[in-house]
Structure 1
């Protein structure tokens, strides 16, 4: 990351940061995508079981890993201010925190997973597949959270191409292991959807090891000597990470858990409806990687400029990112509209599931524009270390507006399962409007502080 004085140079640098992040995010999400898609070809029960398991795991993972995203603006601002010696200390402390979070997740899962699944109205085979899938996935939780720390450090230095390479190297491992363990190929037993959990867990270990090797032996990371000194636990640094990270984590949790909550509420519908809903939401979430990646790139760029006290440049990056996201949203909406049949056929060949998935994908079009505004603004606000507003926005727009409205429409109108999607779209739109107003306020506040 370096200073870019003109808009043209900023655009070029932003795209250089963004493209590897986008490829990385697509690669990471593709693991979940291939889990669900390949499980679907093993049978609708496997698809529904993995979908339910993912609906429980994804909000927990994204919410808790969101806490660790606090490291990105911390490192970016240290770098912008020239405080390079502080970086390795912050990375190690975030690593300690990641291990503690991982252990809490594993212990909590062993205590409460059965209870959660028993409360759901699932067919016994679907419940068992969901349970065993999550049990298999738990083997990779520690390296997954550690990798999030290492990735935040690498990306904050502007070296996003490195994490892209690690992800691209990991993805074929995941697909090959899915093929072997789901379908019983290459001498492995046929495990169905459960095999996807083992495949993904092993892939997490591979990604983590590649990141460690890179930080030890590749420039510029080796120069920060991250692993040369194992600092004592600093609860003060943990406090700093948590003060920034907890609001980030909760805002991400509220956003991702709303989709999982809808999936769980839809367990009262037939397995076919669950499978179609999850297929559509899975692809819509894949497209969400575009505004999410722009958001992450904005955190790096805005954080760097704020650390260097170049507030005008930070503002330019903010609106540059939002503009790119809106253009991409228009393109992805057109893609969804014209190719929804082909997209649905990726997940299943069962006629009833296929037709329902196509209908759900029409509603997914309306997610695109709201996400294109809300996600980049969240990234820009994190660059300013303004994180409490996004937490509040996520709670209100998703849980106090989106979910209640969706429940009413699904249960008291003819919209049925589609009612939940209408509620989500309404919540997303409300959140996007609130965040835009908040960004303008923060930019004005920083501008006033710089003149006093």
Structure 2
């Protein structure tokens, strides 16, 4: 990152940060996509078992990894303030925190996994595959969380192209390992869906080692000498990161877990409706990679300018990112409206499921537009280290407003299954309006500080 002086320079720098993040997010999404698709070719039980395992793991991982995202605004603000000497300490403490979280997840999983699966009433074979898949995946939890810390450090310096390259390297590794372990090729054991868990775990070790090598040996990261000095554990540093990261993690958890809850509630409808819902939600998740990537780019840019006390520039980056997200949201919405049937055909040829998927995809258009506003504003607020409002918004908009509204519409009105989508859209729209007001307030507060500083 470097200081910019015009809108054109800001736009250029913003896209330099954004495009690699977008490729990275799509690459990570593709990794889970290939896990599911390749497991499906191993058998229906393998597909169901991996799907159950992923649905349990995803809210846990996204929520807890959200805690580690606190490092991005911390490092960006330090570099913006030219306090680079403080960065290695912050990164190493984040690594310690990641290790503690990973170990806690493994221990909790060992105690809670069987009771959770037992209560789900699964087919015995599906339950076994889900359990063994998660156990296999657990061997990669520690490197996965450590890699997330290193990625936050790299991205905070605006070097998002590096994490993009690491992801692009890891994707073929993951696909190859899936091929070898799921189907038992070239003398490897045929593990079915469980092999996808081991493939992911090995891939996580690979990307962590690659990331450490880059940070230690390649500039500008090697200039910070992150792994060159031993630091004792500092609970004060952990407290600082948890103060920012815990609300981020809970906000992400509330957002990801709501979709798992809706999927469970959908079980009251017929198989065609459930399949159509899953197909449309899968594609909506794919489109969500655009606003979430813009959100992450905004966090980096805004935090850098806030650290340098250039609050006007921070505000300009906020509006620039939000404007790009809205334009991209409109573009995706129009494309989804025009190619509605073609998208549905990607998932099914069954006419009943196809027609329902097309209807769900129309509601996904409204998802897109709400996310195009809410996600980038969340990123801007994180750049200001203002995270508690986002946490409360996620809880209220999804669990207090969205889910109850959806439940009522689904069970009392003729909307049926579509009622859940309407409820979630209503919650998202409320969150977008609330966050817009919050961002305006934060920017006014910082602008007034700038005025007081100039007077002094």
Could you give the per-residue CA deviations for residues 43-101 of structure 1, whole angstroms, max 9, x where no partner exists? 44443332322222111111110100000000000000010110000000000000000
Equivalent runs, 1:323-362 vs 2, <5 Å: 323-347=323-347, 353-362=353-362
Aligned residue number for residue 312 of structure 1: 312
Aligned residue number for residue 446 of structure 1: 446
Q: Distance in 1 between matches of 2:121 and 2:334?
A: 36
Shift of 1:210: 0.7
Corresponding position: 1:146 with 2:142: no
Q: Distance in 2 between matches of 1:370 and 1:87?
A: 36
Shift of 1:333: 1.6
Q: Distance in 2 between matches of 1:196 and 1:269?
A: 30
Aligned residue number for residue 65 of structure 2: 65
Taking a change above 3 Å as real, the CA distance of residues 362 and 126 of structure 1, as seen in their structure-2 partners, is farther
Shift of 1:354: 4.9
Worse-matched range after superposition: 359-368 or 19-28:
359-368
Taking a change above 3 Å as real, the CA distance of residues 28 and 321 of structure 1, as seen in their structure-2 partners, is same
Q: Distance in 2 between matches of 1:123 and 1:357?
A: 27
Taking a change above 3 Å as real, the CA distance of residues 327 and 448 of structure 1, as seen in their structure-2 partners, is same
Equivalent runs, 1:81-96 vs 2, <5 Å: 81-96=81-96
Could you tell me which runs of 5 or more consecutive residues in structure 2 were left unpaired when the two chains were aligned. Answer: none
Taking a change above 3 Å as real, the CA distance of residues 347 and 40 of structure 1, as seen in their structure-2 partners, is farther
Could you give the per-residue CA deviations for residues 238-257 of structure 1, whole angstroms, max 9, x where no partner exists? 01000011111111111111
What TM-score does the superposition give when structure 1 sets the normalisation length?
A: 0.95
Corresponding position: 1:162 with 2:162: yes
Aligned residue number for residue 280 of structure 1: 280
Shift of 1:157: 0.5
Corresponding position: 1:205 with 2:205: yes
Worse-matched range after superposition: 38-47 or 133-142:
38-47
Aligned residue number for residue 383 of structure 1: 383
Corresponding position: 1:237 with 2:237: yes
Could you give the per-residue CA deviations for residues 301-332 of structure 1, whole angstroms, max 9, x where no partner exists? 00010111111100000000001001111121
- Checking the alignment, whether the CA contact within 8 Å between 1:62 and 1:252 is kept in structure 2 is yes
* DSSP 3-state at the match of 1:230: coil
Q: Distance in 2 between matches of 1:135 and 1:404?
A: 34
- Checking the alignment, whether the CA contact within 8 Å between 1:72 and 1:152 is kept in structure 2 is yes
Aligned residue number for residue 10 of structure 1: 10
Q: CA RMSD in A?
A: 1.9
- Checking the alignment, whether the CA contact within 8 Å between 1:41 and 1:348 is kept in structure 2 is no
Q: Distance in 2 between matches of 1:181 and 1:267?
A: 32
Q: Distance in 1 between matches of 2:62 and 2:227?
A: 26
Worse-matched range after superposition: 115-124 or 316-325:
115-124
Aligned residue number for residue 252 of structure 1: 252
Q: Distance in 2 between matches of 1:367 and 1:441?
A: 25
Taking a change above 3 Å as real, the CA distance of residues 415 and 50 of structure 1, as seen in their structure-2 partners, is farther
Could you give the per-residue CA deviations for residues 366-400 of structure 1, whole angstroms, max 9, x where no partner exists? 21010000000001001111010000100000000
Equivalent runs, 1:4-43 vs 2, <5 Å: 4-43=4-43
Shift of 1:352: 5.5
Could you give the per-residue CA deviations for residues 103-138 of structure 1, whole angstroms, max 9, x where no partner exists? 111111111122122222544443333322222211
What TM-score does the superposition give when structure 2 sets the normalisation length?
A: 0.94
Q: Distance in 2 between matches of 1:39 and 1:343?
A: 22
Aligned residues: 452
Equivalent runs, 1:361-400 vs 2, <5 Å: 361-400=361-400
Q: Distance in 2 between matches of 1:316 and 1:112?
A: 47
Shift of 1:351: 5.9
* DSSP 3-state at the match of 2:227: coil
